Amino acid sequence: MGWGWTADATAHQPIPAPAGGRTVNGQEIQANTQGMLLFKDPTVFGPGWPGLAAAIVKARAGDASDFLTFDDPAALAIECLDFPAQSRSFADLAARERLARAVSPHLGGSVQTWTVVAGCIGWPEPATNPPHRARVHGAPPILIVNATHDPSTAYVWALGLHAQIPRSVLLTRIGDGHTSALTSPCVRAAIDAYLIDRITPRPGATCTD
């Protein structure tokens, strides 16, 4: 199903969240959906997609407690120092939201970096570690691991990093979800071999579990 019921209907009638003693609106639901999308199956880091489905059912029944936001000021400070502010006004934010809705209509324009895009407006310090091309020289072969359908770190980023680091090896997990060591014995074995014995997989290696 689409997210119209959260983005539109709850804009004027937020859903109660008894666990937090307040209500939750559609944008908050969209933003916190990102965290539940990271892992397909339940892990120590979250309930996975089954938990997201249960949270949606619960919210539609009138309790959106599972979508409550718990602020982390330290994380925002780090992000604002890593990424230059991309928006400077509400008009900028509104334009970005319209573009995101057009690109990802099923999520109503929700993106993981929205907290950074919105929260870093007016940040008093300049970015100290902005994104840049990798500067790696003289290092032993570096292992890069990425899933093909990662909702947090896109596979194209791994391809780009692999191209920038000489002698690096990219291990591709064919599958969904963020990170792979927790969910794939194949990846875990490759990472263990790399960390313990500095053995890298063959170029172009993949894991499918």
**What tens digit of pLDDT does each residue of 89-139 get?**
889 888 988 888 888 887 776 777 888 888 888 888 888 888 899 999 999
Band of pLDDT at residue 5, cut at 50, 70 and 90: low
* CA–CA separation, 118 and 86 (whole Å): 9
Asked if residue 146 lies in contact with residue 119, where contact means CB atoms within 8 angstroms, the answer is no
Question: What is the pLDDT averaged over residues 30-51?
Answer: 86
Placement of tokens 């324009």 in the chain: 109
* CA–CA separation, 92 and 96 (whole Å): 6
Residue 138: inside a domain, yes or no? no
**How many domains in the chain?**
3
The CB density around residue 29, as the number of other CB atoms within 10 Å, is 27
Residue 136: inside a domain, yes or no? no
* CA–CA separation, 197 and 89 (whole Å): 51
Placement of tokens 């692999």 in the chain: 162
* CA–CA separation, 177 and 36 (whole Å): 10
* CA–CA separation, 126 and 106 (whole Å): 34
What pLDDT is attached to residue 113? 80
64 & 82 share domain: no
pLDDT in tens, 67-86: 998 778 888 899 999 988 88
Placement of tokens 């890593």 in the chain: 82
61 & 5 share domain: yes
Question: What is the pLDDT averaged over residues 58-65?
Answer: 95
* CA–CA separation, 6 and 162 (whole Å): 38
Domain around 76: 71-129
102 & 48 share domain: no
Residue 167: inside a domain, yes or no? yes
11 & 75 share domain: no
152 & 100 share domain: no
The CB density around residue 117, as the number of other CB atoms within 10 Å, is 19
